[in-house]
Each structure stands twice: as C-alpha cells, then as structure tokens.
C-alpha cells in the first residue's frame, strides 16, 4: 500500500489537482480560469473548456506517485439538486484515472473539500469527527455550517448575494481584475483608518447583502476613494459574519469556529476573528479553491480514518 490519493477539483474559476501521501499534501497544483477584464464572471461552457485544457497540462510528472485511490469533487454542496457543469471535466479525468489504475473512486462536494482543506491547513483534522461551526465564504457561497462527526448542516448564510459577489462586484466597479478579493483586501489594509458606520442587521443566523451593494454604488457616485470603499465593504462582511456567529452561539454554544473558502484568505477578517473568537483560518493556499481537501478525504474514505 502506498497510502496516496490523487484528487481533482474543477470549480468555476480554478482547475486543481492534489496528491495526499501518508496524510501529507505533497502536490497542490492550481491553474486559474482567466476572466476578461471588466467581466464579473464566466460562462459555464467557457469554464468547462478551460478546465479541459488545464487538466492535460497539470497531470504532467504525476507518474512518480503510486496511487491507492482517486478523489474528485462532483458538485458544489451536499444538498439535493446541487449541480454545476464545471465539475464534469474533473469527474471525467478522475473516472479515467481510476479505471486505468484499477483503484476506487471517491466523490465529494466542493464544499466538503474546502472544509477538509482548512482543517488540514490548521492541523486540526481531529475536528472532523467532532462538532464545530464552519463558514464557507467564497465567490458563490456564504454559508454557516454545523459540522458534526462528518455531517454538514446549513444553519445560516446570506439570503441574496454572497460575500464573494459583493466583493467582486465592488472590485470590478473600482477597476480591479476579477476575482477581486485580494485587491480589495490589500487596498483596505493600505488605506487610512477611518470611522466607518455599519448599520447592517441580520435576521438571526441569516443576512442580506444586496443593500450593501447599493450603498457602494452611492459611495462611488459621491466619488469616495477605493480605500474607503474597500474598508466599507469588508467592515460590512465582518459585521454580517459576526452577527451570524453570535446568533449561532446562542443555540449551539461556544464551539470551535473554522473559516474556509476564498474570502477567508482576507487578512482583514483574520485580524479580527482570530483574537476575538479564537477562529481557525487556513492560509491562502488552502482557503482559495484547491483539490487538497478532496485528496485528504479520499485517503480517509479509503482507509477509514483521518489524522493530523
């Protein structure tokens, strides 16, 4: 036995391939799907084509490993009807690899992979078999999840646009390249600290963010600079997430809190939630889209355990 897994994840904007060997990620390859400047996204057909091209290049030199199993993300989340065509290239590649190697194929959701990658990055894979709260903050998802011994239940989130959509739409309006998370975060960090009024109110564990986007449009009309607007957006994101977390703690108590998804790479959010809530944040390599979590999960599924 080689205790090694090969994993694929083809989310909307990143082609990812990873290798987990002896519970250690030894390959974490990524290739972004290019979005034309000024655009706020990409068509699924274009994403499928880009993944198909990227996967052929990213598989080079992986013959040095001997794999016991293959893992792949096949859908966005663990809910009925969750589907996006962009996951088909990864699934096709995974099925082909499993068939040629004669090893089992394990399928997971993209969201489950994000959580596993985050746990791996913060060296807390032991939490996977326990109870904790996980935030999945990305371009298409804003959800607060109760994770309990491998099960995932949505207990909160946005009722309209995601935090990633708010950040990306703001960034495009400011002239940043899509995706805009890193640019918004860095611009906010470099800006002069100003008193920014945030009046966002949640509906318990749920929130609405489209109103914040409208406020951003007003700030742009009044010619506020990019630094102020970037701070304003991230302050509202922070407020929305904190309100959700406080509401959840009233019901579930002070459980460990994990952040996952691309927006979790924000240094602005890390600097607040780590000292105030002892929250767990992975570094960017494991918070942005990746196949590492899928590789870890495949090893767990194949051998029946998951360890740090």
Q: Which residue do the tokens 């942005």 mark? A: 288
Res 193: pLDDT: 78
Q: What are the residues facing 7 on neighbouring strands?
A: 18, 71
pLDDT band at 205 (very low <50, low <70, confident <90, very high): very high
Q: What does DSSP assign to residue 195?
A: -
pLDDT at 294 over 50: yes
- Tell me whether residue 184 is exposed, middle or buried, using C-beta atoms within 10 angstroms of its C-beta: 0 to 12, 13 to 18, 19 or more: buried
pLDDT at 306 over 60: no
Q: Which is more confidently placed, 88 or 3?
A: 88
Res 305: pLDDT: 63
Mean pLDDT for all residues in the chain: 94
Three-class SS of residue 183? Answer: helix
pLDDT band at 308 (very low <50, low <70, confident <90, very high): very low
Res 197: pLDDT: 81
DSSP result, 81-130: T---GGGHHHHHHHHHHHHHHT--EEEEEHHHHHHHHHHHHTT-GGGGGS
Gap between the terminal Cα atoms of the chain: 19
**Residue 4 CB neighbours (<10 A):** 21
pLDDT at 9 over 50: yes
Sheet holding 151-158, edge to edge: 206-207, 151-158, 142-148, 131-137, 257-260
pLDDT band at 1 (very low <50, low <70, confident <90, very high): low
Using CA atoms of 89, 95, 96, 101 in order, give the dihedral in degrees to the nearest 10. 140
How many whole angstroms from its chain centre is CA 307? Answer: 22
Rounded Cα distance between 73 and 289, Å, is: 11
Res 185: pLDDT: 98
pLDDT, tens only, 150-200:
899 999 999 999 999 999 999 999 999 999 999 999 999 999 877 888 878
pLDDT, tens only, 99-150:
999 999 999 999 999 999 999 999 999 999 999 999 999 999 999 999 999 8
Rounded Cα distance between 169 and 153, Å, is: 28
**Where is average pLDDT lowest: 66-70, 164-168, 191-195, 219-223?**
191-195
Res 199: pLDDT: 79
Integer CA distances (angstroms), 169 to 91, 165, 185, in order: 30, 6, 14
Instruction: Kindly report whether the peptide bond that precedes residue 109 is cis, defined as omega within 30 degrees of 0.
Output: no
Three-class SS of residue 18? Answer: strand
Rounded Cα distance between 68 and 300, Å, is: 12
Assessment of whether the complete model's pTM goes beyond 0.75: yes
Question: Residue 27: left (phi > 0), alpha (psi -120 to 50), or beta?
Answer: beta
Percentage of the chain beyond pLDDT 70 is: 98
Pairing of the two strands 257-260 and 131-137 = parallel
Percentage of the chain beyond pLDDT 90 is: 87
pLDDT, tens only, 250-292:
999 999 999 999 999 999 999 999 999 999 999 999 999 999 9
């Amino acid at each position: 036995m080689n205790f090694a897994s090969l994993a694929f994840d083809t989310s909307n904007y990143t082609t990812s391939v990873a290798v987990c060997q002896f519970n250690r990620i030894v390959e974490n390859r990524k290739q972004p799907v290019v979005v034309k400047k000024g655009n706020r996204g990409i068509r699924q057909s274009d994403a499928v084509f880009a993944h198909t091209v990227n996967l052929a290049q990213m598989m080079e030199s992986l013959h040095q490993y001997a794999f016991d199993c293959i893992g792949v993300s096949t859908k966005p989340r663990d809910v009925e009807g969750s589907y996006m065509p962009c996951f088909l290239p990864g699934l096709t590649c995974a099925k082909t690899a499993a068939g040629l190697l004669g090893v089992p194929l394990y399928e997971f959701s993209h969201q489950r992979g994000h959580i596993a990658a985050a746990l791996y990055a913060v060296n807390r894979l032991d939490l996977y078999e326990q109870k904790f709260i996980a935030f999945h903050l990305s371009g298409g998802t804003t959800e607060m999840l109760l994770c309990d011994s491998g099960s995932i239940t949505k207990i909160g989130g946005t009722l309209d646009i995601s935090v990633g959509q708010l950040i990306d739409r703001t960034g495009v309006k400011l002239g940043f390249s899509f995706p805009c998370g890193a640019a918004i975060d860095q611009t906010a960090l470099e800006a002069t600290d100003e008193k920014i009024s945030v009046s966002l109110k949640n509906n318990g564990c749920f929130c609405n963010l489209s109103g914040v986007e409208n406020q951003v449009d007003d700030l742009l009309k009044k010619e506020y600079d990019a630094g102020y607007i970037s701070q304003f957006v991230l302050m509202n994101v922070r407020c929305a997430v904190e309100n959700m977390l406080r509401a959840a703690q009233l019901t579930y108590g002070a459980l460990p809190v994990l952040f996952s998804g691309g927006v979790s790479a924000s240094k602005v959010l890390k600097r607040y939630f780590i000292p105030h809530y002892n929250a767990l944040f992975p570094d960017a390599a494991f918070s942005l889209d990746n196949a590492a979590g899928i590789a870890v999960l495949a090893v767990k599924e194949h051998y029946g355990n998951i360890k740090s």
